[in-house]
């Protein structure tokens, strides 16, 4: 299974985030899974790809050509695809992935997660989606989504389209069982 990961590219986070992302990448490879990601060398994306590559796994980086600058992209991916636009990048990531995981990130990460969740809600794909809630980062997001459903702005059934996990092993089990 190729797992698409959305996450931060920041280099200024608490160390626990990088360690957990790298450990998750290693665990993915040990379970025979590959990583599809935005190609970044830094942040949680960079940590995850370093983990997967250290364990002998497969990685597919996908990035627009305007990101091709020194230090931005991870240079040792198993495969790398350049696109012209961010929209093309997201489409290829969706097409090449069998499942999706959101690790902590900012506005770009949120945008990618909500788009893939919306597409699942609309029946455009049926691939599993999970949130890796490292260090309680997504506690408030989970609360907001439950509030959104409780207030009638989205269906309660939308909350069943993804899982939120504090534990990487439980997250990976969820993806494997829902493939």
pLDDT of residue 86: 94
Question: What pLDDT, on the 0 to 100 scale, is given for residue 31?
Answer: 98
Q: Which helix (H) or strand (E) holds 61?
A: strand 59-64
Containing 158, the helix (H) or strand (E) segment is none
Whole-number Å distance between alpha carbons of 1 and 6 = 16
Residues 6+ apart with CB under 8 A from 41: 71, 72, 73, 74, 75
pLDDT level of residue 12 (50, 70, 90 thresholds): very high
DSSP one-letter code for 175:
H
Closest CA relative to residue 67, chosen from 95, 41, 98, 49: 41
Q: What was the pLDDT predicted at 140?
A: 98
State the Cα–Cα distance between residues 51 and 25, nearest whole angstrom.
5
Q: What is the structure's pLDDT at 96? A: 98
- Name the burial class of residue 45, with classes exposed (0-12), middle (13-18) and buried (19+) by CB atoms within 10 angstroms of its CB: buried
26-76 residue pLDDT tens: 999 999 999 999 999 999 999 999 999 999 999 999 999 999 999 999 999
- pLDDT for the residue 32: 98
pLDDT in tens, 81-125: 999 999 999 999 999 999 999 999 999 999 999 999 999 999 999
Asked if the 2-177 domain carries CATH number 1.10.3210.10, the reply is no
Cα separation of 30 and 116, whole Å? 26
């Amino acid at each position: 299974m190729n797992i698409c990961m959305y996450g931060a590219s920041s280099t200024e986070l608490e160390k626990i985030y990088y360690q957990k992302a790298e450990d998750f990448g290693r665990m993915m490879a040990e379970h025979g899974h590959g990583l599809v990601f935005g190609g970044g060398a830094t942040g949680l994306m960079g940590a995850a790809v370093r983990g997967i590559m250290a364990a002998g796994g497969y990685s597919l980086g996908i990035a627009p050509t305007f990101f091709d600058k020194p230090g931005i992209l991870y240079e040792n991916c198993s495969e790398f695809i350049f696109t012209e636009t961010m929209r093309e990048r997201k489409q290829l990531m969706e097409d090449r992935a069998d499942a999706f995981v959101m690790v902590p990130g900012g506005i770009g990460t949120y945008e990618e997660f909500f788009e893939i969740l919306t597409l699942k809600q609309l029946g455009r794909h049926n691939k599993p989606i999970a949130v890796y809630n490292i260090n309680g980062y997504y506690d408030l997001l989970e609360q907001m989504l439950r509030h959104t459903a409780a207030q009638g702005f989205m269906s309660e059934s939308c909350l069943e389209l993804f899982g939120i996990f504090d534990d990487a092993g439980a997250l990976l089990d969820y993806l494997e069982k829902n493939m």
